[in-house]
Amino acid sequence: NAGVMQNPRHLVRRRGQEARLRCSPMKGHSHVYWYRQLPEEGLKFMVYLQKENIIDESGMPKERFSAEFPKEGPSILRIQQVVRGDSAAYFCASSQSARETQYFGPGTRLLVL
Amino acid sequence: AQTVTQSQPEMSVQEAETVTLSCTYDTSESDYYLFWYKQPPSRQMILVIRQEAYKQQNATENRFSVNFQKAAKSFSLKISDSQLGDAAMYFCAYRSAGGATNKLIFGTGTLLAVQP
């Protein structure tokens, strides 16, 4: 049973470009969460989605960041016009239901030059 | 708002010895979950152990056990018979059991070194 998959594992962007991070949840999981880990810090919640719906986006910056989890396909975290401060590890987690444990993917390391 | 505090930025333990990592949290909720996650150098987040607040019995997973003190809002992790592979960053996390959000709130982590 494959775990949570994220791609790409590493992404390099120049300032002003767009970054698209993809997350495929574990089989049978319909709840997806995105977290960001800045260097030398713990993980911070960004957004929680359930198929086609954003449930909680309280941790996501209001500008330049968006997330979706379509009926078919992976969840996408999109960062427009990236800045150096966006450099971080972005982790996706999934769970089978709202009360179940969240399992994490390997993360995407974003570096903005 | 809920907060999670890990007051030990770094810890060290000898191989085969026992070490305890501390975690305290603040909440006004009565029903919640607590977790310990491990992040080795690969940076993959790995679930170590989970505790439901309504359960009085402390959770155990092989060499890993917790000391959950609900009144004191304390949730420490004990690693017995430490192995070199236990070297990692350990994060304590809190999650509400009710409400619409299921976000995990993490502490700042404790970096554990295991000495051979």
Contact A21, A11 (CB under 8 A): yes
Residue A41 to residue B108, Cβ atoms within 8 A: yes
Band the pLDDT of A1: cuts 50, 70, 90. Answer: low
Query: How would you write the pLDDT of chain B (116 residues) with one tens digit per residue?
Result: 889 999 999 999 999 999 999 999 999 988 999 999 999 988 889 999 999 999 889 999 999 999 999 999 999 999 999 999 999 999 999 999 877 678 999 999 999 999 99
The DSSP call for residue B9 is S
Please check whether residue B1 touches A, CB under 8 A: no
Please check whether residue B3 touches A, CB under 8 A: no
Q: Report the half-sphere exposure of A70 (CA within 13 A, side-chain side).
A: 6
Q: What is the largest CA-CA distance in chain B?
A: 46
User: What is each CA distance from B22 to A108, A113, B81, in whole angstroms?
Assistant: 29, 37, 18
Q: Around Cβ A36, how many Cβ atoms within 10 Å? A: 22
Residue at token pair 């994490």: A104
pLDDT at B104: 94
Contact B78, B66 (CB under 8 A): yes
A62 by DSSP, 3-state: which? coil
Q: Looking at chain B from residue 28 to 87, which residues have their Cβ under 8 Å from any Cβ of chain A?
A: 35, 37, 42-47, 50
pLDDT at B102: 84
Band the pLDDT of A100: cuts 50, 70, 90. Answer: confident
> Rounded to the nearest 5 degrees, what angle is found at the Cα of B86, between the Cα atoms of B83 and B87?
110
- Across chain A, mean pLDDT equals 93
pLDDT at B85: 95
Q: Calculate the dihedral angle through the C-alpha atoms of B101, B107, B111, B112, rounding to the nearest 10 degrees.
A: -80
Chain B residues whose beta carbon lies within 8 Å of the beta carbon of residue A107: 43-45
Contact B75, B90 (CB under 8 A): no
Residue B45 to residue A98, Cβ atoms within 8 A: no
The 10s digit of each residue's pLDDT in A36-69 is 999 878 899 999 999 889 999 999 999 999 999 9
CA gap B2, B99 in Å, rounded: 13
Q: Between A104 and A40, name the one with better pLDDT.
A: A104
| Tokens (6 digits) for A98 | 């709202």
Q: Around Cβ A22, how many Cβ atoms within 10 Å? A: 16
The 10s digit of each residue's pLDDT in B59-75 is 999 999 999 999 999 99
> What is the chain A residue with the closest CA to B96?
A99
Residue B109 to residue A107, Cβ atoms within 8 A: no
Chain A residues whose beta carbon lies within 8 Å of the beta carbon of residue B102: 31, 33, 48, 56, 95, 98-99, 102
| Tokens (6 digits) for A57 | 């986006």
Residue B103 to residue A107, Cβ atoms within 8 A: no
A39 by DSSP, 3-state: which? coil
What average pLDDT does this structure show over A30-35? 95
Residue among A42, A56, A89 whose CB faces B103 most closely:
A56
Residue B37 to residue A104, Cβ atoms within 8 A: yes
Chain B residues whose beta carbon lies within 8 Å of the beta carbon of residue A104: 37, 44-47
pLDDT at A47: 96
pLDDT at B100: 67
In 3D, which of B68, B93, B67 has the Cα closest to residue B78?
A: B67
The 10s digit of each residue's pLDDT in A80-95 is 999 999 999 999 999 9
| Tokens (6 digits) for B92 | 């304590």
Query: What percent of chain A shows pLDDT beyond 70?
Result: 99
CA gap A34, A93 in Å, rounded: 6
What distance in Å separates residue A36's CA from the closest CA in chain B?
11
Chain B residues whose beta carbon lies within 8 Å of the beta carbon of residue A50: none
